[in-house]
Amino acid sequence: MKDLIKYLCMKVVIIGALNWGLIGAFNFNLVEYLTKKINLKGSDKYIYIIVGLCALKVLLNRDMRLPFLGKTVFPCFSLTNTYPSNFTHITNIKVQPNSKVVYWAALEDNNQKYDNPWQAYGDYDNYGITVSDNNGNAQLRYKFPTQYKVPIKGLLHPHVHYRVCVNKGMMSPIYTINLK
């Protein structure tokens, strides 16, 4: 249902943009034309509100602003299980049964707050790959991560990111687990 709403909102925004293109290029307003033709006087206001709400939904969508966080293609068969040998924490997650999970976190917490994610993740040594069991339970083993700063949001508290291999060549969007 969520994907359907996202899809419909994208279509509504595109149609709205095309309408603005018609207004700019030909001084022709498709919305006004159709509401008069179908005899729905006054409904154009509601159509504009719907277009605006859909545009807001699209704008606020994390994967629209940061597309690299969305679904991606990757040959999951090439991934082999691994985790940091000196891990300090385990987080259990529930995913699709028998799925590979790739996860990563910032460097181990040593009471240092980094000014950006590039410093905080270093060489991405705090990562792992695991496979969920027949019930979809997976264990993420990692060193407890540090905090770091990002523009606009400021200080991000410790968290772990992960993606799930959902079929042979497709990975899920990035999921984040905030740690306490």
Cα(113)–Cα(98) distance, integer angstroms: 36
Helix (H) or strand (E) holding 13: helix 2-26
pTM: 0.73
- What per-residue confidence (pLDDT) applies to 65? 64
Region 53-66: mean pLDDT is 79
Domain boundaries, the chain: 2-60, 72-178
- What per-residue confidence (pLDDT) applies to 111? 86
Buried b (16+ CB within 10 A) or exposed e, 43-81: ebeebeeebeebbebbeeeeeeeeeebeeeeeebeebee
